[in-house]
Structure 1
């Protein structure tokens, strides 16, 4: 197992809870006790360390979603529950190339880059563009090209497998997507309001992009403990509608 180096990110695991920290000359403190993070350096990722309160903490190498949850937020982000629906509906993989319009905080582009071979993302606002760039750097993603450009004037990419957008008026990007996509490629619009979906679906009728479906993801988690088995009282409800169309 690999050794932890200075400034590496480490996942602390104890009693079903996880905390992401950096191996550096600082101390970490919560109800588990106090832990000198400098002592993590040189240990393997599967080792166990004790806090000042004698709590045994497992050191683990963080997964992508652990890192994503620590990314900075500006505008509303596209959560893994919605990205999972997009990925499964479009069948993207390691050889796929995608264009993403409306980078925002960069969460969708980052999740795409974790699966796809190459992602190009466009953002018109400079503050969002800079924020997303910092998130890409934090995640260590090398296969993203971020552009501070107004995509409503067109994109340079062609023969794409996927064209996603999280913008106020997705209908204005349909013919741009049509040119950018290969035959069989997918157009995905992420829309908080159903009126956005309605307008986009009407514009699709004038293009080579054929509507496949509109979906919404509302997962319901359950509490399971001994004889207790019921839905959790709290749940994440509506985030957005997802329009999926394919170029014919």
Structure 2
């Protein structure tokens, strides 16, 4: 190949490279333009404005909101979220409180409401299996837990029962919950933070933790209403109960009979009640024997079977699925004692 031919070949190669470079540059610029255009369209879709007035609500002490779509699907989201979306579209949550209908960019609607303890428990992180609402409801009902009372719980687990107890005693009451395993107590704390029952990174008695720098207020509403009413403790309650003059003691643990003598001393003699939850009947038997040995009154053991009903235009029938045995519940009342006469 002559020098002239080589030069021509080089020039052709250079021209080809320049053309490809220009094409690549144009392609990149076009993609960027398309991306900008898509983002603008996406933004326009998200900024769908309702044709109705929004309801104002500022009473929730929880750090989560609940979104329900038209199919009944539920989504627990952080309170600070500015938007929410699924296959039905995207809705703007900026400055929108619970109690509102949210339009999506696809023409559908979401319902934004305050979650209950039941909603939070279904979505929360768990360290162990939690008691079901059917059993928790019986504990609160049979023990007659009221606003302003002091309740001792063991063990904490994932804090499912703790949440309901916290709601039952109200801001004037107190729940002290014992847990032997620090790792479980930390998971429970995160769940209780969602409910507004404890402050953010509230210290757990018995756990050495490095100080955490946080904002002074977890939830302005919870802070203003003073609803932080749960105290977490690491300890083995079979070794004793520090609190005295307690209204209710709830035991969800493998060996509750070992706590009964301590419960007798800790309970208020006028109205002290105790509830024991165990999965096996032999455990119930041992618990009842211990309660009788310690002169407890009004002892009863029950089991709750839950069956949902299917109601439609075609008729009414029991659901083919049901929640059968979960555990046995034993309730009792502490026995008043004869106080010695003062010797003169």
**What is aligned with 1:144?**
230
- How far is the alpha carbon of 1:8 from its aligned partner? 5.5
Counterpart position of 1:104: 157
Cα contact 1:98–1:160 (8 A) shared by 2: yes
Identify if the C-alpha distance between structure 1 residues 58 and 27 changes in structure 2 by more than 3 Å, giving closer, same or farther.
closer
Q: Distance in 1 between matches of 2:263 and 2:238?
A: 10
Distance (whole Å) between structure 1 residues aligned to residue 70 and residue 287 of structure 2: 47
Q: Who is 1:204 aligned against?
A: 291
Q: Structure 1: 5+ residue runs without aligned partners?
A: none
Deviation per CA, 1:159-196: give whole Å up to 9, x if none.
11100111111110100111111123111111000110
Q: Where has structure 1 moved over 6 Å in runs of 4 or more?
A: none
Q: Summarize the alignment of residues 148-187 of structure 1 with structure 2, pairs less than 5 Å apart.
A: 148-183=234-269, 184-187=271-274
**Alpha-carbon separation, structure 1, partners of 2:138 and 2:58:** 36
Change (3 A) 1:159 1:3: closer
Structure 1 CA distance for aligned equivalents of residues 182 and 64 of structure 2 = 28
Offset of 1:54 from its aligned partner?
1.7
Residue-by-residue CA offset, 1:28-56 (whole Å, 9 max, x unaligned): 314xx1324xx212124333222243212
SS at match of 1:217: coil
- How far 1:26 moved relative to its partner? 5.8
For residue 85 of structure 2, the aligned residue among 20, 23, 28 is 28
Q: Deviations over 1:132-163 (max 9, x none)?
A: 11111121101000001111110111111100
TM normalised by structure 1 equals 0.90
- How much does 1:69 deviate? 2.5
1:85 to 2:138 alignment = yes
TM-score normalised by L of structure 2: 0.66
Secondary structure at 1:187 match in 2: strand
SS in 2 for 1:130: helix
**1:67 equivalent in alignment to 2:124:** no
Aligned to 1:40: 93
Which one has the largest radius of gyration?
A: 2
Is the 2:162–2:175 contact (alpha carbons within 8 Å) kept by the matching residues of 1? yes
The answer as to whether partners of 1:159 and 1:181 remain within 8 angstroms in 2 is: yes
- 3-state DSSP class of the match of 1:110? helix
Distance 1:8 1:168 in 2: 33
- Change in CA separation of 1:109 and 1:9 when aligned onto 2, cut-off 3 Å: closer
Equivalenced residue count is 243
Greater percentage in helix: 2
For structure 2, list consecutive stretches of 5 or more residues without a partner in the other structure: 1-55, 198-227, 336-344
What secondary structure sits across from 2:238 in the alignment? helix
| Secondary structure in structure 2 of the residue aligned to 1:224 | strand
CA distance in 2, matches of 1:136, 1:123: 14
Q: Which moved more, 1:47-56 or 1:118-127?
A: 47-56
Output the CA distance in 2 between the equivalents of 1:8 and 1:144. Answer: 16
CA RMSD of aligned residues (A): 2.1
